[in-house]
Amino acid sequence: MLFLARMDVHFPESLTPEQVADFQAREKEYSGNLQREGKMKGIWRVVGEYANYSIYDVENNDELQQVMAGFPMFKYMNVKITPLAEHPNHTDAVAY
Amino acid sequence: MLFLARMDVHFPESLTPEQVADFQAREKEYSGNLQREGKMKGIWRVVGEYANYSIYDVENNDELQQVMAGFPMFKYMNVKITPLAEHPNHTDAVAY
Amino acid sequence: MLFLARMDVHFPESLTPEQVADFQAREKEYSGNLQREGKMKGIWRVVGEYANYSIYDVENNDELQQVMAGFPMFKYMNVKITPLAEHPNHTDAVAY
Amino acid sequence: MLFLARMDVHFPESLTPEQVADFQAREKEYSGNLQREGKMKGIWRVVGEYANYSIYDVENNDELQQVMAGFPMFKYMNVKITPLAEHPNHTDAVAY
Amino acid sequence: MLFLARMDVHFPESLTPEQVADFQAREKEYSGNLQREGKMKGIWRVVGEYANYSIYDVENNDELQQVMAGFPMFKYMNVKITPLAEHPNHTDAVAY
Amino acid sequence: MLFLARMDVHFPESLTPEQVADFQAREKEYSGNLQREGKMKGIWRVVGEYANYSIYDVENNDELQQVMAGFPMFKYMNVKITPLAEHPNHTDAVAY
Amino acid sequence: MLFLARMDVHFPESLTPEQVADFQAREKEYSGNLQREGKMKGIWRVVGEYANYSIYDVENNDELQQVMAGFPMFKYMNVKITPLAEHPNHTDAVAY
Amino acid sequence: MLFLARMDVHFPESLTPEQVADFQAREKEYSGNLQREGKMKGIWRVVGEYANYSIYDVENNDELQQVMAGFPMFKYMNVKITPLAEHPNHTDAVAY
Amino acid sequence: MLFLARMDVHFPESLTPEQVADFQAREKEYSGNLQREGKMKGIWRVVGEYANYSIYDVENNDELQQVMAGFPMFKYMNVKITPLAEHPNHTDAVAY
Amino acid sequence: MLFLARMDVHFPESLTPEQVADFQAREKEYSGNLQREGKMKGIWRVVGEYANYSIYDVENNDELQQVMAGFPMFKYMNVKITPLAEHPNHTDAVAY
């Protein structure tokens, strides 16, 4: 079951560059794990913004909430979720 | 080069059900062709809305404009395009 | 798996009162069936507006899309879906 | 008499993790009491956001205001209230 | 129990001046009755707009919904309801 | 001459509880005086929000500006003013 | 007492060019009269839009409402009123 | 050439009352000079808000930018500029 | 003096394809003339939308208003104008 | 391939004037380099705002993202990107 997320990141001024780098390293590891587990199907930078669009494949809303809340930078993210359904024009020519 | 599109469709009341069905059939064929050509990487229904999110892989903005303007239902669609760049957390575990 | 929907209805001027009444009767039957099947957990009128909030319990996004698209008045409705997860403060004292 | 609330929580950076945990513990207790008293009919997490939708059953607006102002985290919450009325399509097949 | 309503009126072009005048006459009568019954506590024109702010004193949300749906021009009105509670700075020097 | 105001209050985190209480006490006194002078015709809490709707009866815009700027918490308030005119459906059955 | 108005005009498609021209002629005459009576202190086209900003000098809100409702094109205008007060930085070097 | 500006002022909490008073005194002097030079044609307080509408008469956009950037409180102002053109209903009965 | 415009076009359903084609042909001629006269410095399609961004070089606001109102499709366009000034980071390496 | 960017700058209060000046000097150098490399085709101040519109000519979205992220003040900028395509009314009379 697929969901599209848009995530906008806003770090407070009080964070040091080291803290930011640490958050980003942990975020990268967490994100990579989600991809290898097949729960994150793709992630793309929104050009010019500290934001991404990403697609998730989860069993249900509770799992998606766990995935979201598990992001190390979750408290600094503004997340908007869009539930996706199969489109009638979808063909097998695309990956998912 | 990837772009995310959100398309919202609004048919005028004056269209007959046959006209709507004809538009939808041509849209389906056009969309399928784009997928087989590798220009549309995915398309999903926004649950509860006559809308989709879809991802395009094109050479440049002019090609994307041609792809968009070629949709049979283009004049009835409200389209918003978001340019996507590679995300630093992207891994090879995902399809694209 | 629960979802909250807000539905706003906008009938075109061209519909006759009989057509409106027919739509409403079919909507009422469809809505009642969803409730008896356990797919619609509740529905409430937004005071002063031709709109409702309703809660759905479905297996996945595709089923929710089918439920939504099945509403007789679907083409006249503006629908916004919010995926819901279990809240940590939820207790068994409430119905669901 | 039912009301739908959407509550978005924004903690200031100055709060320590201990203060946050204390607020959350008191919030959980307060929320549980409201559920056992029958004043809160349901509460759900908005997936991906530090927010909830919840439904209240109160005698009047003044009681709802007291319920809202009593939340330990009230000063950190952005609350929007929607008054709900009985929907003509409501049946006895649903809990309330 | 008090509620504030803002009502914006939008007549379709297809209505004749006579139909508009008839709607307005029936609206005036309905509004006057609500005032005499004590259910409408006040009504004011928003300067420059075909809109009003009005205050209602009703038993509960269902009664308010009935009052709203009873307006002859209800189908042409966009209504937003705000539930009001007693303000701590309110004194007996004001009418209500 | 009547005006409707919506006031939303946002205190900065730096204020102590004592400072807040002092502001609120002075606000209450100021608000009561306006009511006794007949300049404030009513004030109501917006349920769930640190906000009010209030109605003012003043000679002109300059007096309204003085009334607004005189609120002890003025610098912490976001105020929106709507000028009100007599509504054609107004009757003498209401207080003003 | 001064008010700023922004007026946006939207003519329905059903009006003939002659009807539009007639409305515009009557509007011009009405607007000229307001200026000669000193009730309209200025009127300017918003560049690129069928809209104006204009300033009114009236005795009270009821007179402003009469002035607004008297515009021949009033039913085709979207009007937003802002009450203006004397600014502390105002000097006698300007016209009003 | 005329432009309408709306300026909203937001002082940070860190400014002392003396600093605010100093900014306001310099702003008043700067604003008075603009009026005497004929570059500011009028300035009015938006009732209830720390905001003004003001009208400027300048040679070109670059001069307007210089005028704006010269305000002592410029860094604390949110400014929106609307270019104004001569309105066909304008008469010589008004000042400008 | 430069201005940026965003123009969104909305044709009514009642126009025939021939009428649309005629409007577009006249628009193309008008736009070409503006470019040759040096009044339009550039025009670009917003990808996926029936909209453009374009840049104008005119003597003053009144000339810009004339340029805008002269577009054959002006009555079907929603135009937003942004006045541009010289940027301090501008160098002679760019065309204008 | 062209893109339009709107950039709004918001410096935190904690920056000293020296830090701001240093950021601006580095920004000016970076911006000049982009212009000399032909990647930035133009940059203009939005009158009255700490904002610019600028046009970029890049190979693809990833290059645009690198250009954006390279701005010294990137973390203080709110950037919105619009992809541009060739407009059918474009002629060779304009620079690009």
| Sign of CA pseudo-dihedral G65, H44, G52, J6 | negative
Domain ranges across chain J: 2-83
Give the pLDDT score at J46.
98
Give the pLDDT score at J74.
98
H72 interfacial to chain G (CB closer than 8 Å): no
What's the gap in Å between the CA of F17 and the closest CA on chain G? 33
How much is the mean pLDDT over chain F? Answer: 98
Please identify every stretch of chain B with a pLDDT value under 70, giving residue numbers as ranges. Answer: none
Mean pLDDT, range C59-76, rounded to an integer: 98
- Phi, psi angle pair for C2, to nearest 5°: -105, 145
What's the gap in Å between the CA of D60 and the closest CA on chain E? 7
One DSSP character per residue, B20-68 reads HHHHHHHHHHHHHHHHHTTSEEEEEEETTSSEEEEEEE-SSHHHHHHHH
For chain A (96 residues), the mean pLDDT of every run of 10, in chain order, is 98 95 98 98 98 98 98 98 98 96
CA dist B52 to A39, A51, A85, A87, E66, Å?
21, 21, 9, 8, 38
Give the pLDDT score at J82.
98
Give the pLDDT score at J64.
98
Evaluate whether H85 touches H96 at the Cβ level (below 8 Å).
no
Q: Can you say whether residue J90 is alpha, beta or left, with left for phi > 0 and alpha for psi between -120 and 50 degrees?
A: beta
The one-digit pLDDT tens for each residue of chain J (96 residues) are 999 999 999 999 999 999 999 999 999 999 999 999 999 999 999 999 999 999 999 999 999 999 999 999 999 999 999 999 999 999 999 999
- Phi, psi angle pair for J43, to nearest 5°: -150, 135
Mean pLDDT, range C64-74, rounded to an integer: 98
I12 interfacial to chain B (CB closer than 8 Å): no
Q: In whole angstroms, what is the distance from residue I62 CA to residue F37 CA?
A: 50
Q: In whole angstroms, what is the distance from residue H10 CA to residue G59 CA?
A: 32
B 20-39 near A (Cβ less than 8 A): 24, 27-28, 31-32, 35-36, 38
Q: In whole angstroms, what is the distance from residue A9 CA to residue A75 CA?
A: 9
E80 interfacial to chain C (CB closer than 8 Å): yes
Burial of F17: CB neighbours in 10 Å, binned 0-12, 13-18, 19+: exposed
pLDDT digits (tens, 9 = 90+) for D11-42: 999 999 999 999 999 999 999 999 999 999 99
pLDDT digits (tens, 9 = 90+) for D56-73: 999 999 999 999 999 999
Report the residue of chain G nearest H42, measured CA to CA: G94
Chain A residues whose beta carbon lies within 8 Å of the beta carbon of residue C85:
61-62, 64-65
Determine which of G58, G60, G66, G68 to mutate to test the interface with F (most F C-beta atoms within 10 Å). G60
Contact G64 F83 (CB under 8 A): yes
H69 interfacial to chain I (CB closer than 8 Å): no
Give the pLDDT score at J1.
95
- Phi, psi angle pair for C33, to nearest 5°: -60, -45
Per-residue confidence band for E80, with pLDDT thresholds at 50, 70 and 90: very high
pLDDT digits (tens, 9 = 90+) for G33-74: 999 999 999 999 999 999 999 999 999 999 999 999 999 999
Chains with ≥3 CB–CB distances under 8 Å to A: B, C, D, J
J79 interfacial to chain A (CB closer than 8 Å): yes
ipTM score of complex:
0.96
Show Cβ contacts of residue A20 under 8 Å, excluding neighbours closer than 6 positions: A11
Cα I83 to chain center, whole Å? 14
pLDDT digits (tens, 9 = 90+) for C10-63: 999 999 999 999 999 999 999 999 999 999 999 999 999 999 999 999 999 999
Chain G residues whose beta carbon lies within 8 Å of the beta carbon of residue F61:
1-3, 83-85
Show Cβ contacts of residue D47 under 8 Å, excluding neighbours closer than 6 positions: A3, A61, A64, A65, A68, A81, C82, C83, C84, C85
Chain F residues whose beta carbon lies within 8 Å of the beta carbon of residue G79:
none
The one-digit pLDDT tens for each residue of chain H (96 residues) are 999 999 999 999 999 999 999 999 999 999 999 999 999 999 999 999 999 999 999 999 999 999 999 999 999 999 999 999 999 999 999 999
Give the pLDDT score at F86.
98
What kind of fold does domain I2-83 have according to CATH?
Alpha-Beta Plaits (3.30.70)
Mean pLDDT, range I69-83, rounded to an integer: 98
CB < 8 Å & 24+ apart, contacts of J10-15 = J10/J50, J10/J76, J10/J77, J10/J78, J11/J76, J12/A13, J12/J76, J13/H12, J13/H14, J14/A13
